[in-house]
Amino acid sequence: MRQFLKFVLATMVGLLLFMVVGFVILLGIGAAASSSDTVSIAEGSVLELKLGPPVVERSPRSPFAELGLEEVFGEQGIGLDEIKASIKKAKADDNIKGIFLNLDLLQAGMASIEEIRNSLLDFKKSKKFVVAYSEFSTEKAYYLASVADRFYLNPQGTLELNGLSSEVMFFKGTLEKLDLQPYIFKVGEYKSAVEPFILDKMSEPSREQTQSFLNSLNNFMLKNIAAARNKSFADIKNISDSMLVHNADDALRLGMVTHLGYYDEATDFMKSKVGVKKDQELKLVNLGTYKKAADPEKKEGSSSNKIAVIYASGDIMGGEGDDASIGSEGMSKAIRKARLDKNVKAVVLRINSPGGSSLASDVIWREVMLTKKVKPVIASMSDVAASGGYYIAMACDTIVAHPTTITGSIGVFGMMVNSEHFLKNKLGITTDRVKTGKFSDVPTVTRAMTPYEKMHIQREVERIYDDFTTKAAQSRNMPVAELRKVASGRVWSGIEAKQRGLVDVLGGMETAIAIAAQKAKLKEGDYRLRQLPAQKSFMDNLFSDTQSQIKAYSLQNELGDMLPYYQQYKRVLQMQGIQARLPYEIEIQ
């Protein structure tokens, strides 16, 4: 009977899943047919920027988002490209009278925030208003909202302005408890990616570099806040360093916000600005709707000239890659496609990566070098372009980075682990082997490494480091000895990197595109942008990504705040070969 009930239950579940999937597909066909419809924006509307989901480089083409089901299955992210395009479009749209920043948490890197902030500053040139409201304003959210004409902080809310910090988790004690013995191979005293596995705290070089780039980022941010709030840098730095803002009253008294007020008071003010009565509803337009609105300034033009913008986001590894990783094969195809397209006159390589496989990085580097011979290639560094991320950037004609970009980390490392004692002492498992030669079982994780084997791997790491620094020196027109003074795996802010010759220009994506156009001798309006790699179509996403989207949603709900640690564990499992990777997972708070 119990077995019969199991079969009945399994059949019912199967039928239910079939019905759900079928319903989603039918919705998808309808949505795909109507997704190109232009949305009309009512006069007197306000564009609402509610940046809760993570900000990523490109808007993910999630089938659930296109079906309007992102709230059910969870949004996978908001594209920086979409945010900036919407702000630019709103500037010229007579029906949009202002922007409403509805902010609390803001999941974005420092450079991404800087690009959005600069877009808002440009929007304000139209003389339209920017109003911000927050109940709990994090450091990053406040930095973005500081450009607002009016900033309403909830009277019972809080505002964080006490400086930046970066915390690292160490696993040495865990490995010891598990009887796991790590073997570390690296070049460069600052290459601290391996430190969490062999130390219980930061080394002095690691602490030094982290303190340096955090100070650089923090001072840059405070200077911009001071300019936005009409205060001196010294005053803002004192407020931050002394943590003088403890509550909403402090924030108002010190001039960090313009008003204490509730959500309805912020919307009432905007109603007065657009001529709507208090008892009427304010016409707020979200990003998802506004991206379907017509762009009053968009002109397709007849020019066949193009500038290819190639997005390289995530860890670098072999294979095709996806929206969250840079596959050497997939990225090489995209660069090759731009090189062979006669209508593409220049390339902008947009990089947001902490690095990864040194081999995969070198494969991509080669394609950049080949492309540079026939057309300009400009690197645009986003939040992070370090280690392998710098490797693929250094071949470009010009490197553009934000002042707040994390870059450099020119160094390599390798790591293996001996799990013999873990298997035997913790699990009762032993291993034995038969070999045709002395080194037939190399590499293995089930026995200790011999001195010769360790020497062999260390030599390989040193060879790759020599190759990395030699290529970097040639690209930067520096003697190798000078380049190595700023290498050794050390991480820099964009400002620090420019001072040391690792970066050419400070700026964002628009700066890189302008340089690309100039080098290709293209005038404004005489070219179009082409984004690569091409994103999957709606139906491709629906059939190929539905399972992964549901899995991601389930993991988010199941793991909650522990999800980043699980994702980091998965990335470690994907590491193969010698790595050119950022010292550790940098989370700036």
Residue 575 parent element (H or E): none
Side-chain half-sphere exposure of 392, counting CA atoms within 13 A: 41
Pairing assessment for the beta strands 579-581 and 355-357 based on DSSP bridges:
antiparallel
Given the residues 387, 409, 419, 488, the one annotated as active site: 387
Q: Which residue(s) pair with 153 in the sheet?
A: 134, 260
Coil vs helix vs strand at 131: strand
Confidence label for 296 from pLDDT (cuts 50, 70 and 90):
confident
Average pLDDT over residues 498-513: 98
- Condensed to tens digits (0 to 9), the pLDDT of residues 172-188 reads 999 999 999 999 999 98
> Is a pLDDT exceeding 80 seen at residue 575?
no
Count other Cβ atoms within 10 Å, centred on residue 398. 19
DSSP-derived 3-state class of residue 412: strand
Q: By mean pLDDT, which of 35-49, 99-113, 324-338 is the weakest?
A: 35-49
Task: Give the pLDDT of residue 525.
Answer: 87
Percent of the chain with pLDDT over 70: 81
Cα-based distances in Å from 94 to 38, 283, 503: 16, 14, 39
**Number of helices and strands in the chain (H, E):** 24, 23
Q: What was the pLDDT predicted at 188?
A: 83
The residue that leads in pLDDT, 146 or 61, is: 146
pLDDT band at 190 (very low <50, low <70, confident <90, very high): confident
Residue 585: pLDDT band by 50, 70, 90 thresholds?
A: low
Rounded CA separation 406/354 (Å):
9
pLDDT, average across residues 261-271? 97
- Average confidence (pLDDT) over 324-344: 96
d(CA 25, CA 36): 18
What are the CA-CA distances from residue 495 to residues 308, 350, 380 (Å)?
Answer: 27, 18, 14
For residues 539 and 227, give the distance between their C-alpha atoms in angstroms, rounded to a whole number. 48
Residue 566: pLDDT band by 50, 70, 90 thresholds?
low
CB 46, CB 149: distance < 8 Å: no
Q: What is the pLDDT of residue 563?
A: 52
Give the chain's mean pLDDT. Answer: 87
Q: DSSP string covering 33-54, please?
A: HHTTPPBPPPTTEEEEE---SP
E-assigned strands of 106-149? 129-137
Q: What is the architecture of the domain spanning 45-161+245-290?
A: Alpha-Beta Complex (3.90)
Determine the pLDDT at residue 452.
95
pTM: 0.85
Residues 44-87: tens digit of each pLDDT:
999 999 998 899 999 876 555 554 455 444 456 899 999 999 99
User: Helix or strand or coil: residue 274?
Assistant: helix
Place of tokens 């579940």: 13
Domain ranges of the chain: 45-161+245-290, 306-581
CB 589 within 8 A of CB 142: no
- Write the CA distances from 404 to 106, 193, 275, 496, 506, integer angstroms: 16, 21, 40, 10, 9
d(CA 328, CA 341): 20
Average pLDDT over residues 3-14: 52
Checking if the pLDDT of 33 tops 50, the result is no
Confidence (pLDDT) at 217 = 97
How far apart CA 501 and CA 202 sit, in angstroms, is 27
- For 134-156, what is the mean pLDDT? 96
Which residue has tokens 């009253």? 249
In whole angstroms, give the CA distance from residue 170 to residue 175: 10
The pLDDT, as a whole number, for residue 231 is 97
10 Å Cβ neighbour count for 518? 14
Active site residue 387: yes
Residue among 525, 518, 530, 512 at smallest CA distance from 343: 530
Question: What does the pLDDT read at residue 564?
Answer: 55
Cis peptide before 533 (omega within 30 of 0): yes
- The per-residue pLDDT for 534 is 84
- For residues 197 and 105, the model is more confident at 197
The token duo for 420 is 């013999």
pLDDT at position 220 over 80: yes
**H helix or E strand, kind and range, residue 532:** strand 528-532
Predicted pLDDT at 539: 54
User: 45-161+245-290 and 306-581: same fold?
Assistant: yes
CA–CA separation, 404 vs 398, rounded Å?
Answer: 18
User: What per-residue confidence (pLDDT) applies to 23?
Assistant: 54
Specify the 3-state DSSP secondary structure of 99: strand
Q: How far apart are the first and last CA of the chain?
A: 57
CA atoms within 13 A of residue 346's CA, in its CB half-sphere = 26
Q: Is the pLDDT of residue 29 over 60?
A: no
Q: What is the mean pLDDT of residues 458-470?
A: 95
Cβ atoms of 296 and 92 within 8 Å: the answer is yes
Average pLDDT on 209-227 reads 97
Q: What is the pLDDT of residues 482-501, one digit of tens each?
A: 999 999 999 999 999 999 99
At the topology level, CATH places domain 306-581 in: 2-enoyl-CoA Hydratase; Chain A, domain 1 (3.90.226)
pLDDT at 73: 47
Cα–Cα distance between 13 and 180 in angstroms, integer?
A: 42
**CA-based Rg of the chain, rounded to a whole angstrom?**
26
- Does residue 77 contact residue 52 with C-beta atoms inside 8 Å? no
Cα separations (Å) of 134 from 51, 270, 283? 12, 15, 19
For β-strands 491-493 and 398-401, DSSP reports them as unpaired
Distance CA(378)–CA(516), nearest Å, equals 6
pLDDT band at 567 (very low <50, low <70, confident <90, very high): low
